[in-house]
Amino acid sequence: MINHLNITQFLEKAAVLPVLDVRAPIEYTAGHIPGALSLPLFTDEERKQIGTAYKQISRDKAILLGLDYFGPKMSGMVKLATKLAPHKEVLLHCWRGGMRSGGVAWLLDLAGFTVNLLQHGYKDYRRLALHLFEQKYPLLILGGMTGSGKTEILHHLHQAGEDIIDLEKLAHHKGSTFGPIGQPPQDTIEQFQNKLALALYGLKNSNRLWLEDEGISIGKVTIPKPLYDQMQAAILIKIEVPQKERIRKLTREYCQTDKAILTDAILRIKKRLGGLATKEALQAIEMGDMEKMVELALVYYDKAYSFQLANKKPQQLITIPLTTTNAEENAGQILAELKKKKLIMN
């Protein structure tokens, strides 16, 4: 049985059924529906050859060439699909709901699968993503100097019932020159934005949504500009944590990091730190004095963040002093302060 689904129906079923992406590996790597599994009909080279035949000879020639490649793979694709979906019901798509997904859907239907086919393919998911980035959201932005524990606070806000999206977790990057340390490799910009779109889709009925204050770039990926513009215009909850507490927290986080990685991070901001501070930071790393290294790096990061805040309108800023980096306590204190100011009612 083959069912044709729109993108809303498709995503609802994706919560419980495997999603099979039959595009070529290069297309899947560039960006895919989060959670989708790659079941390519053609290799990258085969896809290229079929495309060349379509452009230079004819559509009929391209179809015949595709069938030549498809035929020997049929048995293997059914076996792999059975491993991926032992209950024999799948969600399936290609780029725009054309011949590739149609061919694989026919094959799996023949093999006894229930196939739920995305009508307009991955292209429809991208269309939805761009639409979501342009929607208006009830944003609250959590800001503060580096080392204030904003990400941890964000997750304790979530435990308290608040809706959040952890942009740094989605980006696999903490946002600074030290951001890649301990993180998986970053996705492509398209894939980061695909994950972000799905997170927004899941919170479409949110009363308010907390995000951490970020630049438009998080490492090598970028926040979509319509959403970033909203973030810039939203209320910013600026927490103020004593520098000593921030130094202690960052020292704990980086004390086990390889010295070569820390050295490379410091060298990437050498021009901004200045020659003397860079030299002292490198010496501190070599001596194992991580507190000193962090203190020197914070001079740059604190100055950069203060400069960034200077562009905010006074009515956008709500400053909340905190005495420690205890994220659970700080989340509770932030919520209490916002309720006191009647910025949140529940």
Question: Hey, which residues are catalytic here?
Answer: 94
The rounded distance, in Å, linking the Cα atoms of 346 and 343 is 10
Phi and psi angles of residue 163, each rounded to the nearest 5 degrees, phi first = -85, 130
Q: Could you tell me if 201 and 131 are in contact, meaning their C-beta atoms sit under 8 angstroms apart?
A: no
Q: What is the DSSP string of 277-316?
A: HHHHHHHHHHHT-HHHHHHHHHHHHHHHHHHHHTTS-GGG
Question: 214 phi and psi, to 5 degrees?
Answer: -135, 155
> 3-state class of 19 per DSSP?
strand
Contacts of 303 (CB under 8 A, 6+ apart): none
Residues 158 and 258: beta-carbon distance below 8 Å:
no
